[in-house]
Structure 1
Amino acid sequence: MAVAPTPFWKIGNHHPGWSEPSDELFQWWLDEERAIGLLLYGRRLWETMSSYWPTGDQQPDATPAQVEFARNWRDTPKVVFSSTIDEADWNARLVAGDAVAEITRLKDEDGGPMRVAGATLAGAAMRAGLIDEYAIVTHPVLVGGGTPFFTALDGWVILSPVETRTFPGGVVLNRYETRR
């Protein structure tokens, strides 16, 4: 299972400016998302993504890559972990129980490529040792707040570098595999 931040640009009326990707970075995200068989979301990120991407391909300024991303997002199965919402649509099912137990079950059952998205959910998966690969996209900005992407762990996690790539605007991708 891989973990990576999920694209946040042009979602609803919120556009932080610094996070709009270059065409090259957006294409990289699209290629990554096409390889994913199951998306795992925490509630907050689910609400953000599901407020834009179901109709992202119908936006007048949508690029061909954004159109394809929206279609792929709708078609990809999703699991939403939340005890505070009643339903999840757009090819998603809702899990209100123990996220770590469900992710473990999914990983043991299928073993296919999954992406966990949302800082709180990813943190739980990290602490449980469920992450096989980290893809970290760093934008050259300090935001000074928000939920930490890396939470406190009980011990060290040794990572092996797989890829480093720089995109326009100083955005840097670092991919690592977890050493077991």
Structure 2
Amino acid sequence: MRRLTYGMNVSLDGYIAAPGDDIGWSVPSAELFQWWSDRVVDTGGALYGRKLWETMSSHWPTADQQPGVTPAEVEYAHRWRAMPKVVFSSTLGTLGDVDENARLVTGDAVAEIIRLKAEEGGPLEIGGATLAAAAMRAGLIDEYVLATAPVLVGAGTPFFTALDDWVDLRLVETVTFSEGVVLTRYETRR
């Protein structure tokens, strides 16, 4: 069975975006950016909610052609375009709304994630608060990765959703990056 990882940059008070979907506080250092980029190499596919898809697909398809682009950004853009992606949305509506090696799922997200996890292939990454919350509530997430920035944003989009039951986790890695960002990886105990 394929592993499913939910990982994002998060504020110290637990948000992935401040009010108004502001993520300006979460711009990664060069070393953290490289850490995230290196994960893409081993990823068998990315699962995106609509909002995160719109953010990623508005930038990365042509990021390597922008003025002032760094070699790391060029590398990530190439990796991102090559990685298979599944976009979950009931509002995008048509297959023409996704591209860049992606396909659209408009039906039951949990059922599709279960099907994808049962397929052969590399590990899966899930992103987007609403989509990840559905997978979290269904007990489908095998690993949580939090790149915690030393900032309090006070409100916004939380990384975690409310759960009916506890989820026991085991710490598997801690890395401290420049500017005080602490990355922690936890596996779900089953």
TM-score normalised to the size of structure 1?
A: 0.92
After TM superposition, give the deviation of residue 21 of structure 1 in Å: 1.4
* Distance in 2 separating the partners of 1:55 and 1:25: 21
Structure 2 partner of 1:136: 146
| 1:21 maps to which of 28, 31, 34 | 28
The answer to whether 1:2 aligns with 2:5 is yes
| 2:103 maps to which of 90, 93, 96 | 93
Structure 1 partner of 2:125: 115
Q: Is the 8 A contact 1:40 1:117 kept in 2?
A: yes
* Superposed CA offset, 1:27-71 (max 9, x none): 101111111110000001100110000011111111111101011
Tell me the amino acid that sits aligned with residue 148 of structure 1: P
After TM superposition, give the deviation of residue 19 of structure 1 in Å: 1.8
Alpha carbons of structure 1 residues 154 and 16: separation in structure 2 relative to 1, 3 Å: closer
Tell me the amino acid that sits aligned with residue 90 of structure 1: E
Q: Is the 8 A contact 2:44 2:84 kept in 1?
A: yes
Instruction: Give % identity.
Output: 67
Q: Is the 8 A contact 2:9 2:148 kept in 1?
A: no
After TM superposition, give the deviation of residue 111 of structure 1 in Å: 5.4
Deviates more, 1:141-150 or 1:101-110: 141-150
Tell me the amino acid that sits aligned with residue 44 of structure 1: K
Tell me the amino acid that sits aligned with residue 77 of structure 1: P
* Distance in 2 separating the partners of 1:136 and 1:51: 24
Structure 2 partner of 1:106: 116
The answer to whether 1:74 aligns with 2:84 is no
| 2:49 maps to which of 15, 20, 42 | 42
Q: Is the 8 A contact 1:39 1:78 kept in 2?
A: yes
* Distance in 2 separating the partners of 1:164 and 1:112: 23
Q: Is the 8 A contact 1:136 1:173 kept in 2?
A: yes
> Which gives a bigger RCO, structure 1 or 2 (Cα 8 Å, sep 6+)?
2
Aligned residues: 174
The answer to whether 1:127 aligns with 2:137 is yes
Question: What SS is found at the alignment partner of 1:54?
Answer: coil
After TM superposition, give the deviation of residue 143 of structure 1 in Å: 1.5
After TM superposition, give the deviation of residue 112 of structure 1 in Å: 2.6
Structure 1, unaligned runs of 5 or more? 8-13
After TM superposition, give the deviation of residue 150 of structure 1 in Å: 0.4
User: Aligned Cα RMSD in Å?
Assistant: 1.7
TM-score normalised to the size of structure 2?
A: 0.87
Q: Structure 1 residue runs of 4+, over 3 Å off?
A: 14-17
| 1:147 maps to which of 139, 157, 170 | 157
